[in-house]
């Protein structure tokens, strides 16, 4: 299964070897917890009721995935199910609510985009 050579865990002082990802299992778990704690709940991040309503309305006007690959025709037109931020808002509420920065996306397109952006995070 592992194709890459193992690397030592990035956690200082940890000597575990990791196959893919930056941290050993224990430290990856630890980091996930830290990241989750920093992120807070989805409501705290702005994905509250207001966002659900706003994104639902947006998807009605933008029923098809607007991701680069779909627009370029590499993928068959997919139904948009989530609203994505073209520029990651990272908690910036101006960016978050700026509709110019929104794009309708299919969940699977969105997931592969998120995976690319979060690459190496080991999540
Ligand atoms: Zn470790
Ligand atoms: Zn797409």
Q: Where are the domains of the chain?
A: 7-39, 49-117
Using an 8 Å Cβ cutoff, are 48 and 89 in contact?
no
102 burial type by CB count under 10 A (0-12 exposed, 13-18 middle, 19+ buried): buried
Distance CA 20, CA 42 (A): 28
Distance CA 52, CA 81 (A): 12
Using an 8 Å Cβ cutoff, are 105 and 82 in contact?
yes
**pTM (global) more than 0.95:** no
Ligand nearest to the backbone CA of 78: 2
Distance CA 44, CA 33 (A): 16
Cα 68 to middle of ligand 2, angstroms: 7
Q: Which residue has the higher pLDDT, 16 or 73?
A: 16
Ligand nearest to the backbone CA of 105: 2
List pLDDT tens digits, range 27-71.
Answer: 999 998 888 777 666 555 557 888 999 999 999 999 999 998 898
Q: Which residue has the higher pLDDT, 74 or 9?
A: 9
Q: Which residue has the higher pLDDT, 120 or 99?
A: 99
Cα 75 to middle of ligand 2, angstroms: 7
Look up residue 87 and give its two tokens: 């520029």
Query: Ligand 1 is a single-atom ion; what residues have CB below 5 A from it?
Result: 9, 11, 14, 16, 24, 27
Q: Across the chain, what does the average pLDDT equal?
A: 85
Given pLDDT bands bounded at 50, 70 and 90, which one contains residue 107?
very high
């Amino acid at each position: 299964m592992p194709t890459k050579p193992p690397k030592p865990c990035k956690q200082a002082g940890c000597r575990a070897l990791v196959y893919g990802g930056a941290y050993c299992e224990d430290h990856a778990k630890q980091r996930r917890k830290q990241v989750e704690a920093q992120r807070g709940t989805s409501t705290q991040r702005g994905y509250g009721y207001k966002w659900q309503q706003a994104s639902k309305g947006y998807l009605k006007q933008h029923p098809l995935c607007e991701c680069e690959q779909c627009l370029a025709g590499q993928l068959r037109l997919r139904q948009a199910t989530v609203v994505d931020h073209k520029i990651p808002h990272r908690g910036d509420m101006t960016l978050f609510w700026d509709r110019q920065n929104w794009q309708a996306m299919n969940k699977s397109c969105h997931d592969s985009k998120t995976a690319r952006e979060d690459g190496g995070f080991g999540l």
